[in-house]
Amino acid sequence: MNSVEAVAINAAAFVITLALFGIYVATLGHNPLDVYYVLWLGSFARQISIESTLTNAAPLMLTALCTAIPARAGLLVIGGEGALVVGGVATVLAGMLVAGAPFLVGVTFMSLAGALAGGLWIAFAGALRQYRGVNETISTLLLNYIAIAVMYHLITGPMRDWERVLKTSSWSIPDALRVGALPVIDVHWGLAAGIVVCLILYVVMRRTTFGFGVDVLGGNPRAAQMAGLPINRMVLICCFMGGAAAGLAGAFEVTAVHGFASESLVVGFGYAGILVAFLSRQNPAAIIFLAIILGGVAASGGLLQRRFDLPDATTQVLQGLLFMIVLASNAAYGRLNVFQPAAWRTA
Amino acid sequence: MNMVSQLAVEAPPSVSIKGLTKRFGALTALDDVAMEIRPGAFHALLGENGAGKSTLVKCLMGTYRADAGHVLIDGQEASIASPRDAQRLGLGMVYQHFTLVSSMTVAENLVQGEAGLGAIIDWPARRERLTAFMADMPFRLELDRQVSTLSAGEKQKLEILKQLHLGSRFLVLDEPTSVLTPDEADQILGLMHQLTDAGRISVVLISHKLREVEAYADEVTVLRQGRLAGRGQVGSLDRSDMVRMMVGEDQLAASAPRVTHDAGEALLSVRGLSVEDDKGVPAVRDLTLDVRSGEIVGIAGVSGNGQTEFVEVLAGQRAETGGHIEAGGRRYGKTRAEMRALGIKLLPEAPLDNACVRGMSVAENLSLRTYDTEPMARGGIWLNRAEMRKRAAGLIARFHIKTQGPDAAIETLSGGNVQRTVLARELSEKARILIVQNPCFGLDLKAVAEIRRQIVDARNEGTAVLLISEDLDEILELADRILVMSDGRIVYETPRSEADLQEIGHHMAHHEE
Amino acid sequence: MEGTELGWWGVLIAVIGGAIRVSTPYLFVSLGETLTEKSGRVNLGLEGVLVMGAMSGYATAVLTGQPWLGVLVAGCAGALLSLVHALVCSLPRVNDIAVGIALFIFGTGLAFFLGKPFINPSAPRLPDLDLGWWSDSPHIQSALQISPLFLFGFALALFLAWALKNTRWGLVLRTVGDSSEAAQALGYNITLVRIAGTVAGGFLAGVGGSYLSLYFPGTWNEGLSSGQGLMAVALVIFARWDPVRCFYASLLFGGATALGPALQSAGVTANYYLYGAAPYFLTLAVLIYSASPRKALEGAPGEVSISR
């Protein structure tokens, strides 16, 4: 399974998805080429669209890790949405606690709180699987619903900011602790955090003995047991790291984007992150690029909807279609002779 | 034995196979093979593992499509595209027990695939017929028992009953005795022989056990490396003729010289071990044994008597429910640190599934025990893949592993070479305790001799070896002490010098009575 | 508890009535998933199928004025969407659970996408059966207003339990789901049987969706289903792949879902969202209870990957 092959197959999946979407739009009486142009316009054509793309990409990088890291250990975790929400709520609570603290201390504390909450949230699912045999895919999906319900409970009652009338939300974190934009480009610091975390995890997974052990475990748990690897601990660490990444995404959504927890945290970053993780084939470095591409799709969604009078769900349909095609394209791996070293398989 | 009368009056077909060829990619598994089975014959198909026996019968049964050649049934050319076609022609195959549905009852399994089974099953009428059918069988099974509760021998019997019930007049038995005790094997093959003598069915027995072939078969066809190596009447061939047909003129490596010495201290001790299987049923019951330095302890037994679960516990792949294991005099917790300090090595059965990572390369698989030590890891943290490959290249040469190179995926290797890879990994450092299960299953005779030699060498150098095998001959050849495992317990023990095949076989069958 | 003359009894009756009213989608989805899993595949995307069924059923009823036609169309839409799952999973090296997640995202997205024009118009509802005529209590009367679909689902559970044991199709389905080797030896077309199992399961889930939009709560909007399709998949594990137990489990889950609204109608409005999350907590608790770290799940088809 080499990376040239992966890139080629992924690119083909993108092209097929866009072609199918173009055909659909053509049946509505629009010129498909206009659609592709608008996609380009809304995602990468101008500085403002690039900024919007990157702002969307930042949380996607982190939620993608929530699926990708446990997947390397053989778990199919889809709890990024819930971990992000939990992380966001924890960030607000932490922000209340450190009001008045110096900026760096306060922001670090809030980020760590968000990461810790998200990490523990997914590690709980990991523990349920290791110690009770509960299927982690179902449990993390349920935990998404639970996290959202708990957040609604908190922002409509115990943590509600009654001053804000137009929107139900939690208290706001102190203004002094709000995180601003990166230098040069108007994108918040969450992007830098996402890229750095992806790179660090890439190094951990590819270059360290821990990463090798995780790959053994993900490749064959029985071989890992035979080698005496501490499997439960490894699974919990992977789940924690993935959940912490998603929790960090929630922390930045609060500290850099909204300033409070509200339904704006539940916009599908977690689900889009699953798609990014699958596209990247669980490679944390590849996640950076694929998150930017999918961030572009999300960024151009609004423009696309307005220009062609399409419903809000357009982006979700595109994502779902792409996901399905990418999974189907798994069947193509190893089939394309171009990518096979000559006469590799003998018997 | 009036089951003979129960079978339909229709005579078994004459089957002749001509010029059959089957290729898998570059490999020619069957090359222009011919075979002739007259009605009512008990015909043995003999050959080493990998000689093409299974491929041949799978082509006959419609599981595979042959690339060339044809099959004549009663002189008519037959096109057999699926197992269903084969069934229609009265050809049936008895697998070891892979075709039973374990969540279903005996009755449901027997009714499956019956021709003319209506959309709605009339159970009262079906049961009546099944009861009558069972009553005439020399071995009986309760219709309402769930297959998952049957023993291996019972499952084998059910497979045969199923084929007879479906009206097959031509039965292929695929190594039927490997999951049976010697007594059960004699019982089942004896019954089959009565049926062929009466001219009611034809039997093709696939085997590599010459004893069985000599005792039961009338005719024999021998395959070697996908080609017809010989055939004839069993009565007119002697054992050496058949061996020569099977293995060719090549000389096999002589069995390893065994150093005579007294066994040392006990390195591996199992104390009152109890284990449950996946369904929560006790698989190993209160098992106690010692393996001392410099001896091979062989555990014989019919498969499915708790051996696999026992090995899984030793490998850390399953938790014990009672008792404990001691290694090097201390309680063994199956951690990596203990494995390394005590030199505990393992060669489990089906090594590709139990001891290798399919997606990884040969080099990576060779490093599973050592990747976190110098020089392959700097400071125990940073991987050095160049060192990994270098070390792998050395092991590949030393253990004669046939591979494209250290970077080839482990999946691309043949079964024997996967076995060698795992053995190379486990024996590359000093092994003080070596646990081996069915090490030679599915290998050709040359690889078998080589692997057995490695095991004996380890024993000669003082390693404590625990050998768990379903192959009694292997145990008799290698073990210093022989234990028999039945129904999760050790039921018999004998030193090598006093080992008696009949006695061991009797104890293997212990729980069946 | 002022404002309710029955107090806690009122809550109990409302929960029971709610259980009957809310359980139907659980029942249809879990029966559908049972069929699919009996064939050896897991379809985690039935949430998407459910929502798609709800939308297409509602749209049909709006356009034709025929709610029963809506039910049929919902089933067909569900079958069609599941066919996508079935076909993609028939390709080599494709993980059915991942495809289920994709179908979940795709199906809900597609339903919202196509269903946008139908949020405002109102559709004719499916009729009621009044089984509470014998009682004077309006609470009991309203609790026993039952949809024919509920009774149909009950009958279907009994029928499926019978059919899995007593028809050739039942045996074929169970064989394919339990051991592909056995199925192969018998000459069954494994892929085809699994496609059929998945499509049939999708049909039932689609019908379950139409119940949501055409009977209770009887509207179409984007918040119509909140994970019932997913919970029904977990419920199958709890019911150990037995259709009749699916029926009981659905009632239990329906009761848990009805708890929040029942308490609210009794005047308990605090913690509304937490009570609303009761079914999720119940599902998680039930999963923890059903699972075991050592044993395989009891009753699980051998080829199903969710049980390992």
Band of pLDDT at residue A217, cut at 50, 70 and 90: very high
Q: Is A164 exposed, middle or buried (0-12, 13-18, 19+ CB in 10 A)?
A: middle
Of C92, C105, C237, the CB nearest to A331: C92
Q: Stretch B78-100: mean pLDDT, rounded?
A: 83
pLDDT value of residue A244: 98
C181 domain-assigned: yes
CB C222 within 8 A of CB A267: no
Measured between beta carbons, the chain A residues lying within 8 angstroms of B356 are 220, 223
ipTM score here? Answer: 0.91
CB contact under 8 A, B355 and A215: no
Interface A-C, measured as beta-carbon pairs within 8 A, has a size of: 146
Interface B-C, measured as beta-carbon pairs within 8 A, has a size of: 76
Distance from CA of C256 to the nearest CA of A (A): 14
CB contact under 8 A, B348 and A226: yes
Question: CATH fold of B252-343+430-513, please?
Answer: Rossmann fold (3.40.50)
CB contact under 8 A, B103 and C296: no
Q: How far apart are CA A253 and CA B50, in angstroms?
A: 61
**The 3-state secondary structure of chain A, one letter per residue:** CCHHHHHHHHHHHHHHHHHHHHHHHHHCCCCHHHHHHHHHHHHHHCHHHHHHHHHHHHHHHHHHHHHHHHHHCCCCCCCHHHHHHHHHHHHHHHHHHCCCCCHHHHHHHHHHHHHHHHHHHHHHHHHHHHHHCCCHHHHHHHHHHHHHHHHHHHHHCCCECCCCCCCCEEEECCHHHCCCECCCCCCECHHHHHHHHHHHHHHHHHHEHHHHHHHHHHHCHHHHHHCCCCHHHHHHHHHHHHHHHHHHHHHHHHHHHHCEEEHHHCCCHHHHHHHHHHHCCCCHHHHHHHHHHHHHHHHHHHHHHHHHCCCCCHHHHHHHHHHHHHHHHHHHCCCCHHHCCCCCCCC
CB A251 within 8 A of CB A59: no
pLDDT value of residue B199: 84
pLDDT value of residue C259: 85
C86 domain-assigned: yes
Of C169, C185, C302, the CB nearest to B95: C185
Element (H, E) at B69: strand B68-73
- CB contact A228 to B (< 8 Å): yes
CATH of the domain at C209: 1.10.3470
Q: How far apart are CA A205 and CA A201, in angstroms?
A: 6
pLDDT value of residue A342: 38
- Helix A32-40 to helix A284-308 angle (10° resolution) is 120
CB contact under 8 A, A324 and C294: no
Q: What is the pLDDT of residues B144-201, one digit of tens each?
A: 999 988 877 788 888 888 888 888 889 999 887 777 777 778 888 888 888 888 888 8
pLDDT value of residue A344: 35
Is the predicted pLDDT of residue C292 greater than 90, yes or no? Answer: no
Query: Could you give the number of structural domains in chain C?
Result: 1
* Mean pLDDT computed over every residue of chain A: 91
Is the predicted pLDDT of residue B513 greater than 50, yes or no? Answer: no
pLDDT value of residue A340: 44
- CB contact B350 to A (< 8 Å): no
- CB contact A230 to B (< 8 Å): yes
* Mean pLDDT computed over every residue of chain B: 87
CB contact under 8 A, A347 and B377: no
CB contact under 8 A, B337 and A226: no
> Which string of b and e fits A125-155 if b means at least 16 CB within 10 Å?
bbbbbbeebbbbbbbbbbbbbbbbbbbbbbb
CB contact under 8 A, C291 and A132: yes
Distance from CA of A121 to the nearest CA of B (A): 27
CB contact under 8 A, A331 and C93: yes
Q: What is the pLDDT of residues C248-260, one digit of tens each?
A: 999 999 998 888 8
Question: CATH fold of B3-247, please?
Answer: Rossmann fold (3.40.50)
Is the predicted pLDDT of residue B501 greater than 90, yes or no? Answer: no
Element (H, E) at B269: strand B266-276
Cα–Cα distances in angstroms (integers) from residue A296 to residues A13, C25, C106, C163, in the given order: 16, 37, 19, 51
What domain range includes position C128? Answer: 8-307
Is the predicted pLDDT of residue A346 greater than 80, yes or no? Answer: no
CB contact under 8 A, C116 and A313: yes
Q: Stretch A32-40: mean pLDDT, rounded?
A: 90
Distance from CA of C138 to the nearest CA of B (A): 45
Q: Where are the domains of chain A?
A: 3-336
Lowest mean pLDDT among A18-22, B1-5, B297-301, B344-348: B1-5
Mutation target to probe the B interface, by most B beta carbons within 10 A, among C168, C180, C240 is: C168
pLDDT value of residue B349: 87
Write the CATH number of the domain with boundaries A3-336.
1.10.3470
Residue in chain C nearest B147 by alpha carbon: C178
Tokens of B47: 């050959």
- CB contact A141 to C (< 8 Å): yes
Band of pLDDT at residue A345, cut at 50, 70 and 90: very low
C2 domain-assigned: no
CB contact under 8 A, C103 and A324: yes
Q: Catalogue the long-range contacts made by B77-84 (C-beta closer than 8 Å, 24 or more residues apart).
A: B82/C187, B83/C184, B83/C185, B83/C186, B83/C187, B84/C186, B84/C187
Tokens of B192: 């089959």
Q: Could you tell me what percent of chain A has a pLDDT over 70?
A: 95
Question: Which residues share a beta bridge with B436?
Answer: B347, B467
Q: Is A163 exposed, middle or buried (0-12, 13-18, 19+ CB in 10 A)?
A: exposed
Of A143, A145, A317, the CB nearest to C113: A317
Chain C 237-296, residues with CB within 8 Å of chain A CB atoms: 237, 270-274, 276-277, 280-281, 283-284, 287-288, 291-294
Is the predicted pLDDT of residue C20 greater than 60, yes or no? Answer: yes
pLDDT value of residue B350: 87
Is the predicted pLDDT of residue A337 greater than 70, yes or no? Answer: no
Is the predicted pLDDT of residue A131 greater than 70, yes or no? Answer: yes
Band of pLDDT at residue B96, cut at 50, 70 and 90: low
Q: How far apart are CA A95 and CA A103, in angstroms?
A: 11
Of B316, B408, B414, the CB nearest to A228: B316
- CB contact B28 to A (< 8 Å): no
Q: Stretch A97-107: mean pLDDT, rounded?
A: 94
* Mean pLDDT computed over every residue of chain C: 89
Tokens of A270: 């977690």
Measured between beta carbons, the chain C residues lying within 8 angstroms of B87 are 187
Q: What is the pLDDT of residues B117-132, one digit of tens each?
A: 788 999 999 999 999 9
Q: Residue B24: helix, strand or coil by DSSP?
A: strand
Q: Stretch B324-345: mean pLDDT, rounded?
A: 94
CB A248 within 8 A of CB A118: yes
More confident residue, B307 or C263: B307
Q: Stretch A73-99: mean pLDDT, rounded?
A: 96
Lowest mean pLDDT among B251-255, B272-276, C6-10, C75-79: B251-255
Distance from CA of B225 to the nearest CA of A (A): 14
Is the predicted pLDDT of residue A263 greater than 80, yes or no? Answer: yes
Q: What is the pLDDT of residues A273-283, one digit of tens each?
A: 999 999 999 99
